[in-house]
Structure 1
Amino acid sequence: MSLSKQLLILISALFLMIFSVNFALSVGNIKDYLEGESKSHAQDTATSLGLSLSPYMTNPDDQVIQSMASAIFDMGYYKEIRIVDAENRELVELISEKRVEGVPDWFIDRLPMTSATAEAEISTGWNLAGVVYVTVNPGFAYLKLYEQAKSAFYYSLAAFLVSISLLVFVLRMTLAPLNKIDWLAHRISEGHYETIHALPWTREVRNVAASMNTMSQKIKTAIASLQTKLDRMGASLLRDDLTGLYKKSVFETDLKPLFAEHGDAHVALIRLDSLSELVKEHDSAAIDDLLSRFAKLLQHTADSAAHPVKPYRFYGAEFALLIETADQGIVEDLLRSLAVDIAQLGEQYRKPDLVHIGVARLNPVGSAESLLEAAHEAHEQAQLIGANSYFIRAGDNIARDITAWKSLVFDCVDRCDYSVWYIGQTAAFATGALLMEEAFIQVHDRHGELVAIGPFISIAEKFAKIVDLDRGIIEQVVHHIRDGHLAHSIAVNLSTRTVRNGEFRRWLEILLKQSPIAAKQLVFSLSAYAVAKDVEAYRDFIADVHSLGGRVMIKRFETQSLSAETVKRLRPDFIRLARDLGNGVCDSAQKHVFVQTVQDIAALMDIAVLAENVQSEADYQTLKAMGLAGASR
């Protein structure tokens, strides 16, 4: 109940209590007054009638006595007039049971009034001739009392309504700033650190509003500082310390959207095969200088290329170029130019045969491992060609592979010929209990052999079967939750095509409304790099899932794919760090600071942070001490 309603009810109750007491006292006083007036009136009438009858009481049978009593009685204000002589013989008895109209019976029953009776002696000379008794009709007193009570009630009611109206207006004026403060609190909880510009005039509320403004700005400053720190640390984690080139983990991340979107690209694996000999001839400073100069050469080649080219340093003497083009001629031109530059660099160190380059074309039904394996095989062929040479491995029959994969994917999805397994058990650091599992499918070909899931998902995405596949997996997961009465959550991976599909969204809405218990344990897992490509679509999807009671996790999080600012806009329930970030965090100060910063930002936004596939016990305990929600082993 709102504060305005509470105050309104409280003040109304106080008004009602005061009014009730005042009304009861007022009616009681009026009643006492009317009773006193009735008694006085009865006494006056009795005295006056006694004096008037005194000359006629010498003859009790005189008709004037009857006439005078009747004349007064007929006025209608009296219930009874009796006249008796000195021997108490009744001379006149006039009685009326007339009721006064307009007074309800319940009023008379609730406020009983005694009939005022008065008497007066009638004298003839110095002798007592008789006694007159006068009883006033209480109906007239009831009528006046009822009219007074009605007037008091209606005036009080009108005053109450006017007071309530004024009270509502005043409360709205007074409590309006509290609504702004409430709005600001909600905005802060949603990650929007705004301020109240028009401060309220009430001193106490003004102080609260000013404090809220200060808190909002401090949190905003802290978040901005953490985000800057996170971006800086994230960038340093992604790049090699010596050369400044991106690491192998970035290369693997860059390949994922290319596989998912069936992009065209070549990977050139570059190895300084003469490095082992140079190490024997030069000191470490000279070797570091060589590697740095070689990295600048690769960066210059990438910057000068007409197509997107990105250089990487994997480790030691192994480098790579990701060339986003399907045109082998363009790749050859780039490598010929690069070979010339490498030869010039080699001459400075008296090594005419400095490197060899192996090139493989990206196969959309392949994987990062198979692509690098092909590049390594091409590198071995380049070593046989000559100094600073390159070899481009002939592409497989990609069209034939895709046709075979398409047939397998359509057959499996249409017949639901796949099984759902639950892997990646994530334990909660706080309790040690199972927090979450991840749904994972296994597919077998016609010969009963396990199929690589990466190419299977990629082909399903390419030919729009991924929506049906995701629906089938969700249905099996919901049945698993119901039948197993699970207490932990199940993460289900969704593709971009599925998230964008309007029919799927409508189907999911119906499913979650029919299964509210299962909805609470479903966690829709979204890849960070996919979210970054269409933030608005994913923001709408996350908002819909939250409205239906479901939850969302962004997995493989690192700042290269998704910024902290974007996470603030999306407000997922979970963030799962990229696998590389959780491993080695105990020994790497950079990783430690990065993960701790992610945790600090997530805590302010009420987001749980998880780690994936943590190998060592030391890393596991370090992540636990940082305050993360859980991790898988």
Structure 2
Amino acid sequence: MSLSKQLLILISALFLIIFSVNFVLSVNNIRSYLEGESQIHAQDTATSLGLSLSPYMVDTQDPVLETMMKAIFDRGYYKEIKLVDVTGQSLVTLRNDKTFASVPQWFIDFVPMQTARADSEISSGWSISGTISVTINPGYAYFKLYEQVKTSFYYSLMVFAASIVLLLLVLQITLSSLKRIGVMAETISTGHFDMIKRLPWTTEVRKVALSMNVMSKKLERVIQNLNKKLENIGKKLQLDELTGLSKKSSFELRLKEVQSSHEEAFVFMIKIDALTSLVKELGPDTIDQFIKDFAEILKSKTSVDSSVDIDAYRFFGSEFVLLMRGATVDQSERLARSLSTSFTELGEQYNKKDIAHIGVAAFDPFSPKNNILLAANEAYEQAQLIGANSYYLRKGKDRAKDMAEWKELVFDIVDNDDFKVSYVSTTENLQTADVLMQDAFSEALDKNGDVLSIGTFVSIAEKFVKIVDLDKGVVSRVIDHIKENNIANQIAINLSSRTVKSSDFRGWLTVLLNQNQAVAGQLVFSLSAYAVNKEIGVYKEFIHFIRKHNAKVLIKRFETQSMLPQAVKELKPDYIRLARDLGNGIAQDVEKREFIKTMLEIGELLDIQVLAENIQADEDIACLTKMGVLGASR
């Protein structure tokens, strides 16, 4: 019950109590007054009538007696006037039992009144000649009392109604401030830290509003500090400590971006062949300086041509990679030649003629991402056979299937629902050891019965706008699987960017979820952090749409390289699944522990659960469990 209703009921009850007591006292006072007045009136009438009849009592049969009594009786509110002689014999009796129809019987029964009666002796000379009795008709008193009660009641009701209206206005003004404070508390819980600018005039409520403003500011600063801390730690985790180059995980993320954009790209696989011999000849500090000098060469090449985008990465040890986007074959060859020259110059400084080789491979957006690294490694091996600090450029081969064949295959599989959905990557609830979630994974076969690369299949489906139908089929299969097998855990379903933006998919999903409300809460729609970060507004609206229909949302592969921490506050998904590199090795890595600890603090403030992915070591699982991570897959 709202506070306004409680106050209204309380004040109304107090008013009713006070009114009832006052009303009862008022009725009793009026009744007592009317009874007293009736008694006085009866006595006065009896006395005056006795004096008037005294001269005529000599003859008790004198008609004047009755005439005079009728004259008085007709002018007053009398029930009975009776004249008796000295022996008690009735001489004249006048009676009027008139009642008032406007006075209900229940009122008469509820408020009984004493009938006023008075007697007066009549003297003739020195002797008593008779007695006159006057009884007042109580109907008139009841009529006056009832009219008075009605008037008092209606006026009191009018005052009560006016008081209620005034009370409602006052409560509306006073409680509107409390409502603003309540709305503010709700917005704070969703990660939006608003302020109450128009402070209420009520002293106590004003203090509460000021306290809420202070709390909102402090929480906002806490969130901002945690986001900055998370971002800084994330950047450090993504960079190689010695060279300052990005790590392999950043390369994989960038490669996904290239794959989704279908742009031309080249991967340069660069390995320092002379590192083993240099370690034997030089000290640790000199080796570190050599690797730094080598990395500086790669950094310098990232800005030589403004028409292309070049990023440098250190995978591990002596292995480095360059990713060249939006380049032609000629531009990639010029870069490889320039690197070869620079490596020769660096080798001369350390008395080494041959220090590194370069393998270059063209990127095929319709092939699995691991294929490009294999191709670049093969090119590197070819470069070793050519000569010192040489390079080898491996141009893209013809695809095994041409685009027309791929298109026909994808359309045939999707239109005929000729694909399989399996359930993999079981996420265990680390706090209860129960199964928390599984991932729905699509598989398809070509005409020869060979398993197709799902990455290539999805890429082709997205290119030819068939991905929405594929995602619809997967969602339907998952719902049927849950219902037919009485699945209790949640199931994560990957959605493409095109599906997320499809109004047709949303309309279809609305109908499907409304028909399957019993299992809607078990559906977790999985969105890539990289894709979400590109179109925050679109995904924010989609997440709101999904949660409105009681399903859940997971943002996967989260790291500060793929998504800024501030976006988490704006999106507020149900789950965040950290990139797999952040969870593996956490037991031995202080910075990773600090990153996840900060992420857990943000999740607790924003009511977001944190998950880990593909954790290998038992000690890492134990560490994540102790830290409070909800679940992890292995």
- Secondary structure of the residue that 1:132 maps to in structure 2? strand
Q: Distance in 2 between matches of 1:482 and 1:187?
A: 36
Check the 8 A contact 1:261/1:462 in 2, yes or no. no
Check the 8 A contact 1:121/1:131 in 2, yes or no. yes
Q: Distance in 2 between matches of 1:309 and 1:340?
A: 18
Match of 1:431 in 2: 432
Match of 1:142 in 2: 142
Match of 1:630 in 2: 631
Check the 8 A contact 1:365/1:402 in 2, yes or no. no
Check the 8 A contact 2:308/2:327 in 1, yes or no. no
Within-5 A mapping of 1:163-562: 163-305=163-305, 306-325=307-326, 327-398=328-399, 400-562=401-563
The C-alpha deviation readout for 1:590-613, integer Å capped at 9, x for no partner, is 111111111111111111001111
Q: Distance in 1 between matches of 2:56 and 2:437?
A: 114
Shift, 1:554, TM fit: 0.5
Once structures 1 and 2 are overlaid, which stretch shifts more, 2-11 or 613-622? 2-11
Alpha carbons of 1:483 and 1:136: their partners in 2 closer, same or farther (altered >3 Å)? farther
Q: Distance in 1 between matches of 2:91 and 2:469?
A: 113
| Alignment root-mean-square deviation, CA | 1.8
Shift, 1:101, TM fit: 5.1
Q: Distance in 2 between matches of 1:477 and 1:81?
A: 100
Q: Which amino acid counterpart does residue 5 of structure 1 have in structure 2?
A: K
Q: Distance in 1 between matches of 2:361 and 2:105?
A: 106
Q: Which amino acid counterpart does residue 425 of structure 1 have in structure 2?
A: T
Shift, 1:399, TM fit: 8.7
The C-alpha deviation readout for 1:18-65, integer Å capped at 9, x for no partner, is 111211221122122212222221222122222211221221211111
Shift, 1:229, TM fit: 1.2
State whether structure 2 residue 3 is matched by structure 1 residue 6. no
Within-5 A mapping of 1:118-129: 118-129=118-129
Check the 8 A contact 1:260/1:461 in 2, yes or no. no
Shift, 1:146, TM fit: 1.7
Q: Distance in 2 between matches of 1:28 and 1:549?
A: 64
Identity %: 52
The C-alpha deviation readout for 1:210-244, integer Å capped at 9, x for no partner, is 32222222222222221111111100110111111
Check the 8 A contact 1:437/1:489 in 2, yes or no. yes
- Secondary structure of the residue that 1:363 maps to in structure 2? coil
Shift, 1:549, TM fit: 1.6
Within-5 A mapping of 1:611-630: 611-630=612-631
Q: Which amino acid counterpart does residue 520 of structure 1 have in structure 2?
A: G
- Secondary structure of the residue that 1:38 maps to in structure 2? helix
- Secondary structure of the residue that 1:59 maps to in structure 2? coil
Q: Distance in 2 between matches of 1:477 and 1:459?
A: 23
Q: Distance in 1 between matches of 2:24 and 2:411?
A: 86
Match of 1:29 in 2: 29
Q: Distance in 2 between matches of 1:91 and 1:587?
A: 126
Match of 1:115 in 2: 115
The C-alpha deviation readout for 1:236-273, integer Å capped at 9, x for no partner, is 11011111111111111111122233232111111112
Q: Distance in 2 between matches of 1:621 and 1:402?
A: 48
- Secondary structure of the residue that 2:555 maps to in structure 1? strand
The C-alpha deviation readout for 1:389-412, integer Å capped at 9, x for no partner, is 222223122494433332222111
Alpha carbons of 1:440 and 1:399: their partners in 2 closer, same or farther (altered >3 Å)? closer
Once structures 1 and 2 are overlaid, which stretch shifts more, 317-326 or 505-514? 505-514
TM (norm. structure 1) is 0.96
State whether structure 2 residue 154 is matched by structure 1 residue 159. no
Shift, 1:198, TM fit: 4.1
Once structures 1 and 2 are overlaid, which stretch shifts more, 12-21 or 258-267? 258-267
Q: Which amino acid counterpart does residue 222 of structure 1 have in structure 2?
A: V
Once structures 1 and 2 are overlaid, which stretch shifts more, 128-137 or 106-115? 106-115
- Secondary structure of the residue that 1:225 maps to in structure 2? helix
- Secondary structure of the residue that 1:123 maps to in structure 2? strand
Check the 8 A contact 1:46/1:133 in 2, yes or no. yes
Shift, 1:539, TM fit: 0.4
Check the 8 A contact 1:303/1:309 in 2, yes or no. yes
Q: Which amino acid counterpart does residue 562 of structure 2 have in structure 1?
A: S
The C-alpha deviation readout for 1:3-32, integer Å capped at 9, x for no partner, is 222112211111111111211221122122
Check the 8 A contact 1:262/1:462 in 2, yes or no. no
Check the 8 A contact 1:310/1:322 in 2, yes or no. yes
- Secondary structure of the residue that 2:586 maps to in structure 1? coil
Q: Distance in 1 between matches of 2:474 and 2:99?
A: 86
Q: Distance in 1 between matches of 2:301 and 2:514?
A: 55
Matched residues, number: 633
Shift, 1:416, TM fit: 1.1
Shift, 1:132, TM fit: 2.1
Q: Distance in 2 between matches of 1:6 and 1:484?
A: 49
Once structures 1 and 2 are overlaid, which stretch shifts more, 260-269 or 530-539? 260-269
Shift, 1:497, TM fit: 0.5
Uncovered stretches (5+) of structure 2, i.e. residues with no partner: none
Check the 8 A contact 1:531/1:538 in 2, yes or no. yes
Q: Distance in 2 between matches of 1:360 and 1:476?
A: 39
- Secondary structure of the residue that 1:575 maps to in structure 2? strand
Match of 1:62 in 2: 62
- Secondary structure of the residue that 1:74 maps to in structure 2? helix
TM (norm. structure 2) is 0.96
Alpha carbons of 1:136 and 1:236: their partners in 2 closer, same or farther (altered >3 Å)? same
- Secondary structure of the residue that 1:99 maps to in structure 2? coil
Check the 8 A contact 1:422/1:438 in 2, yes or no. yes
Once structures 1 and 2 are overlaid, which stretch shifts more, 279-288 or 547-556? 279-288
Alpha carbons of 1:331 and 1:30: their partners in 2 closer, same or farther (altered >3 Å)? same
The C-alpha deviation readout for 1:527-585, integer Å capped at 9, x for no partner, is 00000111000000111112222211111000001011001000111100001111100
Once structures 1 and 2 are overlaid, which stretch shifts more, 112-121 or 47-56? 112-121
Q: Which amino acid counterpart does residue 451 of structure 1 have in structure 2?
A: L
Match of 1:566 in 2: 567
Q: Which amino acid counterpart does residue 33 of structure 1 have in structure 2?
A: Y
Check the 8 A contact 1:585/1:591 in 2, yes or no. yes
Check the 8 A contact 1:271/1:357 in 2, yes or no. yes
Q: Which amino acid counterpart does residue 596 of structure 2 have in structure 1?
A: V
The C-alpha deviation readout for 1:101-121, integer Å capped at 9, x for no partner, is 543444334323343222222
Once structures 1 and 2 are overlaid, which stretch shifts more, 476-485 or 492-501? 476-485
Shift, 1:334, TM fit: 1.8
Check the 8 A contact 1:259/1:367 in 2, yes or no. no
Alpha carbons of 1:400 and 1:440: their partners in 2 closer, same or farther (altered >3 Å)? closer
Q: Distance in 2 between matches of 1:445 and 1:173?
A: 70
Shift, 1:201, TM fit: 4.1
Q: Which amino acid counterpart does residue 6 of structure 1 have in structure 2?
A: Q
Q: Distance in 2 between matches of 1:253 and 1:364?
A: 14
Q: Which amino acid counterpart does residue 206 of structure 1 have in structure 2?
A: R
Shift, 1:465, TM fit: 1.1
Q: Distance in 2 between matches of 1:399 and 1:537?
A: 36
Q: Distance in 2 between matches of 1:361 and 1:48?
A: 134
- Secondary structure of the residue that 1:590 maps to in structure 2? helix
The C-alpha deviation readout for 1:510-531, integer Å capped at 9, x for no partner, is 2222322222221111100000
The C-alpha deviation readout for 1:68-127, integer Å capped at 9, x for no partner, is 111122125112222222222222222223233543444334323343222222222233
